[in-house]
Amino acid sequence: MLIVDDVPDNLSLLHDALDEAGYTVLVATHGEAALQRASQAVPDIILLDAIMPGMDGFEVARRLKAQPDTSHIPIIFMTGLSETEHVVAAFAAGSVDYVVKPIRPREVMARIEAHMQSARQARQARNALDAFGHASLTVRISDGRVLWQTPLARKLLQDYFDTPEAVAPLELAAWLTQVVPRVADEVAQGRLPVAPPVWYVNQAGRRLSFTLHQQTGDDEWLLVMQESSDQAAMDALSQEFKLTAREGEVLYWVVKGKTNRDIGDILGSSPATVKKQLEHIFAKLGVETRTAAAGLAMSRVAQLKLR
């Protein structure tokens, strides 16, 4: 958790209360330090003073929300300003809540607890997705802004689209504006979609899919991406069955229904060579026919969508 306030007494009061409650607490006394610490530590929640010398809290919040690595962090404003215009400004800058000074630690703790569980769940989901190399991103539907993405998602978006990192591709954003209202309406009525909507883009023998996974906020949805290509499937078969690279290629084209002559033409070798390679593949897979080899391959790596 990060507390941002230019008044040392406020920092001390909140730090001690939160530390005693078991939170790990970081502090910052001005806007630039807040941005730096938030980027480095990526806290679960930020308690942010609205009025500070130099960069005020509203500007700090806007900058945090503009950065993909910190845009997902819930911000609770602390302010002595209770006029409607300042409350509106706080929410417009991206806050999820606010408390009015003078600070009452018990009230702050209650506000934090209200937002902490969802923040922790989101962090755990992000960590799991990163750990397993899943390509996922969260998009705000109203303006197509990418609020968060895994490293693999960032790479795939750069490979397939010429678009700024923090903005969803126009084609994807257009698809989301069409699909999300319908899905949201079905969910609200208790009718879950039979299958989640999927959008595809093809590029030079590669295919990238975007599956609408779940809603993560009022206007935010999580998308799961998956890339499929001939080479990726061949590599997966080679790894799964401990085949050589060439044997992985042969097995892939067997699964695709190609004859030995077809495979020879594709790989630049003779049908006899392909037949010899198939014998090695059968031995490694523990099967005797190409039909059995293809069936085993499809059942073990069905997630590659080889068919």
- pLDDT digits (tens), the chain, 307 positions: 899 999 888 888 888 888 888 888 999 999 999 999 998 888 889 999 988 999 999 999 999 988 877 888 899 998 877 667 777 888 888 888 888 888 888 888 888 887 877 776 666 665 555 555 568 889 999 999 998 888 788 888 988 998 887 899 999 999 999 999 999 888 788 776 677 899 999 887 678 899 998 888 889 999 998 877 677 778 778 888 899 989 999 998 998 889 999 999 988 999 999 999 999 999 999 999 989 999 888 876 654 443 3
Distance CA 95, CA 52 (A): 17
Q: What is the pLDDT of residue 100?
A: 84
Same structural domain, 83 and 180 = no
The answer to whether position 233 is within a domain reads no
Distance CA 224, CA 134 (A): 7
User: What range defines the domain where residue 48 resides?
Assistant: 2-128
Same structural domain, 7 and 113 = yes
The answer to whether position 234 is within a domain reads no
CATH number of 287's domain: 1.10.10.10
Q: Exposed, middle or buried by CB within 10 Å (0-12, 13-18, 19+), for 77? A: buried
**Residue after which a domain boundary falls, among 228, 262, 293:** 228
Nearest in space to 166 (alpha carbons), one of 138, 147, 152, 153: 147
Same structural domain, 102 and 193 = no
Structural contact between residues 171 and 208, judged by C-beta atoms closer than 8 angstroms: no
Q: Is the bond into 68 cis (omega within 30 degrees of 0)?
A: no
Same structural domain, 107 and 16 = yes
CA 220 to chain centre: 12
Q: What is the pLDDT of residue 307?
A: 39
Retrieve residue 185's tokens.
Answer: 């309406």
Q: What is the pLDDT of residue 301?
A: 61
Q: What is the pLDDT of residue 123?
A: 64
The answer to whether position 236 is within a domain reads no
Predicted TM-score of the model (pTM): 0.47
| Residues in the chain, total | 307
The answer to whether position 235 is within a domain reads no
Q: Which helix (H) or strand (E) holds 150?
A: none
Q: Which helix (H) or strand (E) holds 108?
A: helix 105-131
**Residue after which a domain boundary falls, among 128, 149, 177:** 128
